[in-house]
Every structure is written in structure tokens, then in C-alpha cells.
């Protein structure tokens, strides 16, 4: 039992540290590419970090801009949005939650617009 409690405390510390890393990343990155690089490092440490996955998907979507969304891009973005949404059972942060739901709706709308533009 003591090992499990210790493991939870360590996990909680990592989560707090990674939240700080994500916040710092968005403030210190000199460019979107650098921010993506830092977020990839953060997700390598903690793949299911809600804020990192949400910010990463948002940056990738901004990179795509108004052009047509490819199927590969859609799947990649969908993966990161889904990961961000699935982590809220353990950690609910309203601004992040709201941002992820908005991001999901933008992604769905962008996919629909791409279908219309192709036909």
C-alpha cells in the first residue's frame, strides 16, 4: 500500500512539473516550430498530458491554416485532441477542457470544409 501511495505522489509531482513545462513552453518559445518541438519533448515524457496534446494540436492546426486538410493531418490532429479529452477523468481544468472542445469543433468543421472543397 505504501508503494502505491508513493507512486501516486511521484506521478502527481510529474504531472505538476509537466504542467509547468507546458506553461513555460508557450511563453518562452521563439516560434511555433520551437513550441512544437518543446511540446513533443513534453509528450515524450508524459504522452497523455492534456495541455500538451491540446496545445500541440492547436499549433498544428494553425500551421495548416486555411488550406485543405489532408486525411493524415486530420488523423494526427484527431489523435491529439482525443488524448487531451481522455485525460480529463483524472485532471479537470476548465479552461483546458473548454479549449479542447472548441478545438475539436474547429477540427470537425475544417474536415467538413475540406470535403466540400474537394467535390
Q: For 50-68, how does the pLDDT look when each residue is reduced to its tens digit (9 = 90+)? A: 888 989 999 998 888 888 8
- Residue 39 pLDDT grade (very low, low, confident, very high; cuts 50, 70, 90): very high
Number of folded domains that form the chain: 1
Q: Does position 87 have pLDDT exceeding 90, yes or no?
A: no
Cell of 109: 468543421
pLDDT exceeds cutoff 90 at 23: no
More confident residue, 6 or 113: 113
**Proportion of the chain above pLDDT 90, given as a percent:** 23
In this model, does residue 27 exceed pLDDT 70?
no
Range of the domain at 16: 2-118
Could you tell me the CATH number of the domain that includes residue 89? 1.25.40
At 37, the pLDDT band (50, 70, 90 cuts) reads very high
Buried b (16+ CB within 10 A) or exposed e, 61-98: beeeeeeebeeebbeebeebbebbbebeeeeeeeebbe
Tell me the three state secondary structure of residue 45: helix
Amino acid at each position: 500500500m505504501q508503494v502505491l501511495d508513493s507512486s501516486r505522489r511521484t506521478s502527481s509531482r510529474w504531472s505538476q512539473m509537466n504542467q509547468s513545462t507546458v506553461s513555460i513552453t508557450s511563453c518562452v518559445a521563439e516560434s511555433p516550430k520551437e513550441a512544437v518541438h518543446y511540446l513533443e519533448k513534453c509528450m515524450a515524457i508524459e504522452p497523455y498530458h492534456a495541455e500538451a496534446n491540446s496545445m500541440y494540436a492547436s499549433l498544428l492546426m494553425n500551421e495548416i491554416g486555411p488550406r485543405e486538410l489532408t486525411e493524415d493531418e486530420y488523423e494526427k490532429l484527431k489523435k491529439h485532441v482525443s488524448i487531451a479529452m481522455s485525460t480529463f477523468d483524472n485532471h479537470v481544468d476548465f479552461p483546458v477542457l473548454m479549449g479542447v472542445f472548441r478545438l475539436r469543433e474547429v477540427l470537425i468543421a475544417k474536415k467538413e470544409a475540406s470535403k466540400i472543397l474537394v467535390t
